[in-house]
A and B are shown apart, each in its own frame.
Chain A
């Protein structure tokens, strides 16, 4: 493990997360380019069999402890630090998901090394590792180097296709033991997502509104557009937090991941946490008044305009087209 590229294998509710396979895919590339091993550390309680799904790694170290059944940030970071104590990788990649948020920051502190957050890629320049980071809500890209190693990298979801991180190979699995103090933070229960009136994941067309829609009163515009396209209305986080749409309509990191045939993003900036939930849509059209809005980085077609002006005109054009088609 010393000198390797190492990935935190994140498990949640009995399975390894997609973000872990994405991290393994990137880790595999970097490890191969450097000619070093790709290793993974899996923490859990009675979760050893999950290690078998991590065949993209050469070696999996499994840590079994009742306190690691859930990925509580502090016990998890402590366990990882103990495992890494005398086998230091060059880089340790932690998926940036709601499950693991905070683990990377705590691990870097515990190891006394640098943490680099918001990575979307890793490059090698003159033998040194460089992290390519997306910050400021997606508007800025920074190339970042760490002074020392191991560097702890927080990796945005979507860095590589998860498929590339899956393998039918069987990795070598080692078990490591750790000693942990009691946790002052304990999970009492999970509350399942409320079923909404529509299932966003089953829609062919989604019209998604962001803060740019400005008020609840304007939602009707989006509903009309969605109706003309035969789809449903979804929202970014601020729209849900304001109570303009129910939680079952939220797309993104804490909401749903969707892959409709058409995703229309209206007044959505395109922050990484939103994009990870919609980037795999077949066709993405974005309307935003800011020509530098990061949503245009994932959209196939972009319109720089005021949504309040554009939506009614677009809805009318679509309806006219449909009327012509009906009469043809």
Chain B
């Protein structure tokens, strides 16, 4: 059983986001990139399957600031191989990321055939679509998203995947493999790996690098950002300022006014 995990770096929104001069993109100089949260869950789910079924896990990521950290962390957690696709312009859209990944899967030795391709269900910057269905489309593979539980049958040819629906309802699906699944949450929270182990991985393991090969025409039709701005929260909420005591007093007054106290 071979499992591929597709990983993408995304801006850490805990940090202040700045708009680049030109007003149509984030200023990447001020952004801290972290592994997209649901990709971390996809990696965890792959590692859980490896523990249960003895699979090999390959993490495939697009070059971006901090991506080496994410890939060495994947190796330290138990991934067998890490591959980085280099050569995309910074700030590439999701559609380009998906095309570069699909090409790499087809061309980089050892990546295909994979039995299972896992990636995060959605990233916060997926403005022109989602990676999982894009890769499934490019490779002509089955796709299912919002997966929170995953097991394999004895033959390894079918997966049983649980998808989230609204209101806490779940759907249990049978998926013929190979397939591409968008993982929402792994069965357990992603494991923690000590920094020392990541450092050790940096010394003893390596990241394979492969050049991005994209179709010359750029592929599919583009969506273009004509303006980007920060949401101005102050516009809506009335902010209560002061030390905890005075803020609490103000709020008590408001709650009383609403008949809630």
A residues lining the B interface (CB < 8 Å): 12, 70, 73-74, 97-99, 101-102, 104-106, 108-110, 112-118, 130-131, 133-148, 151, 183-194, 205, 229, 237, 241-243, 247-248, 250, 253-257, 261-262, 269, 282-283, 285-286, 290-305, 309-310, 313-314, 316-318, 321-322, 325
Contact = CB atoms under 8 A, between A and B. Distances in A.
B128 A115 contact: yes
Contact of B14 (A105, A116, A242, A290): A290
A139 B146 contact: no
A117 B130 contact: yes
A261 B240 CA distance: 20
Given A190-B170, A296-B233, A147 B224 contact: yes
A225 to B, nearest CB: 11
B120 interface: no
Main secondary structure of the interface of A (DSSP, over half): mixed
Contacts of A190: 165, 169-172
A114, A194, A254 interface centre (most CB from chain B within 10 Å): A254
The 9 closest A-B pairs by CB, nearest first: A193-B168, A296-B233, A302-B237, A105-B129, A184-B176, A317-B248, A313-B244, A184-B142, A299-B237
A321 B176 CA distance: 61
Given A250-B168, A313-B244, A299 B13 contact: no
A325 B249 CA distance: 15
Interface stretch (B53-61, B66-74, B203-211, B251-259): B251-259
A312 to B, nearest CB: 8
B239 interface: yes
Given A241-B189, A318-B252, A145 B226 contact: yes
B30 interface: no
B165 A98 contact: yes
Main secondary structure of the interface of B (DSSP, over half): mixed
Contact of A105 (B130, B224, B251, B258): B130
Interface stretch (B83-91, B107-115, B132-140): B132-140
B231 A139 contact: yes
Given A138-B231, A321-B252, 4 more contacts: A108-B221, A115-B128, A183-B142, A286-B237
Contacts of A187: 171-173
A239 B126 CA distance: 24
Contacts of B229: 140-142
A322 B255 CA distance: 12
Contacts of A248: 168
Contact of A192 (B169, B175, B226): B169
Contacts of B258: 261-262, 282-283
Nearest to A74: B143
A139 B184 contact: no
Interface string B156-189: 0000101111111111111110010010110001
